[in-house]
Amino acid sequence: MVERLPGVAPPIRKSNPDSYADTPFTDEITLIEMPRKFSFPNIKAYDGTSDPDDHVAQYRQRMLAIALPKESREATMCKGFGSTLTGPPLQWYINLPSRFIASYDILSDKLVEKFASSRGLEKTSDSLYEILQHRAEPLRSYIARFNQEKASIPECSIPTAISAFKKGLLLDGDLYRELTKDQCKKMEDVLSRAWAHVKWEEDVASRAKVQLKQDPKTVRPDRNERDEKPSPRPAKDSGNRNRGRYHNRPIEKAEGMAIGQQVKWPQKMKAPYPFRNPGLWCDFHCDNGHKTEDCIALKIEVNELLKKGHLSEFLSEKAKSNLSKETTGKPLKLLLFRHLDRTE
């Protein structure tokens, strides 16, 4: 007769009237009474999915913080250990052989041995090379992530930590250049310079926010003012080179204001100011960061205006004809710039 089928729930076992007397501990532990008015510390139950060494160490430290008589400390730690287990570890604890555990060290070692597959891999100093600063990540965040990883390494090599910290920085950053020119031998010196740059970076960002709140027009003028303001750079006459691409006809004031009301002006650039290129200027965003001709938001907005019937008077007859043919089977996106860059 088959007592148990694989893949189904185990059969219901009948309780043994004497099962309360079964204990995994020897008589030296079982016969010692627990201290009166004693309550076990509140600790998260171990379910076998995390590192058993962490649970054993945490339980030991919680029990050592309680004032227990020396003669009952070992027995108390053994008897209270089962209340910190749940799931598979608790089932393992219940099924331990009778009179098998003679000390807390044996009990903890058996738990670690049973759930050894849940132990984490030991980290080395070379793991720090995997911590890299992202392009838009503040320096403070990078330092916090690096220190957290460094703290998890038991015996971290200081020279390796210094080298990994520097190589994880952005190559075009001021801190990377400073640490490359003047190398440090102590991690404290590296972090001291890093925190100095954090203060400078956050001060620049704070000043930019204050300036934006006080005078928002300095970042992006009103759309009517922008339409009416003449371009500070005079248009260059490119001669016959531009002939056939678009007409160099100036926009009338009323016409410019009408188009300006149709334009969806972009939001301010998302990248923090310290990470932008101050040598590049965008007339559409009225801010530093990239060139006007490289502005994706401008290209998209111009094509939207073209779709609505605006700006077509700046195209030649040939460009209009080609644009009309392409729009019948292709999307309008970036078609205007394809015609503006096409020469006869």
pTM: 0.45
Write down the pLDDT at residue 252: 46
Q: What is the 3-state secondary structure (H, E, C) of the chain?
A: CCCCCCCCCCCCCCCCCCHHHCCCECHHHHCCCCCCCCCCCCCCCECCCCCHHHHHHHHHHHHHCCCCCHHHHHHHHHHHHHHHECCHHHHHHHCCCCCCECCHHHHHHHHHHHCHHHCCCCCCHHHHHHCCCCCCCCHHHHHHHHHHHHHCCCCCCHHHHHHHHHHHCCCCCHHHHHHHHCCCCCHHHHHHHHHHHHHHHHHHHHHHHHHHHHCHHHCCCCHHHHHHCCCCCCCCCCHHHCCCCECCCCCCHHHHHHHHHHCCCCCCCCCCHHHCCCCCEECCCCEECCCHHHCHHHHHHHHHHHHCCCCHHHECHHHHHHHHHHHCCCCCCCHHHHHHCCCC
More confident residue, 241 or 160: 160
Write down the pLDDT at residue 166: 94
Position 35 confidence tier, pLDDT thresholds 50, 70, 90: confident
Burial 204-243 (b: 16+ CB within 10 A, else e): eeeeeeeeeeeeeeeebeeeeebbeeeeeeeeeeeeeeee
Position 90 confidence tier, pLDDT thresholds 50, 70, 90: very high
* Residues 132 and 102 sit within 8 Å (Cβ to Cβ): no
Structure tokens at 121: 């891999």
Report the distance separating Cα 344 and Cα 51, nearest Å.
71
pLDDT digits (tens, 9 = 90+) for 301-321: 877 777 777 777 766 676 666
Whole-Å CA distances, 342 to 24, 242, 245, 248, 303: 87, 10, 7, 16, 16
Mean predicted confidence (pLDDT) in 52-70? 90
| pLDDT exceeds cutoff 70 at 283 | yes
Report the distance separating Cα 21 and Cα 79, nearest Å.
14
Question: What's domain 125-214's architecture?
Answer: Orthogonal Bundle (1.10)
Position 245 confidence tier, pLDDT thresholds 50, 70, 90: very low
Percent of the chain with pLDDT over 70: 70
pLDDT digits (tens, 9 = 90+) for 160-212: 999 999 999 999 989 999 999 988 999 999 999 999 999 998 988 888 888 77
Instruction: Give me the phi and psi of 307, to 5 degrees please.
Output: -65, -30
Write down the pLDDT at residue 217: 52
| pLDDT exceeds cutoff 70 at 331 | no
* Residues 149 and 131 sit within 8 Å (Cβ to Cβ): yes
CA dihedral 136, 139, 143, 144 (to 10 degrees): -70
Report the distance separating Cα 98 and Cα 39, nearest Å.
25
More confident residue, 128 or 335: 128
| pLDDT exceeds cutoff 80 at 238 | no
Mean pLDDT for all residues in the chain: 77
Write down the pLDDT at residue 274: 67
Structural domain boundaries in the chain: 19-118, 125-214, 223-228+249-340
Report the distance separating Cα 30 and Cα 225, nearest Å.
88
CB proximity list for 203: less than 8 A, separation 6 or greater: none
Structure tokens at 310: 């605006």
Q: What is the phi-psi region of residue 240: left when phi exceeds 0, alpha when psi lies from -120 to 50, beta otherwise?
A: alpha
Write down the pLDDT at residue 42: 84
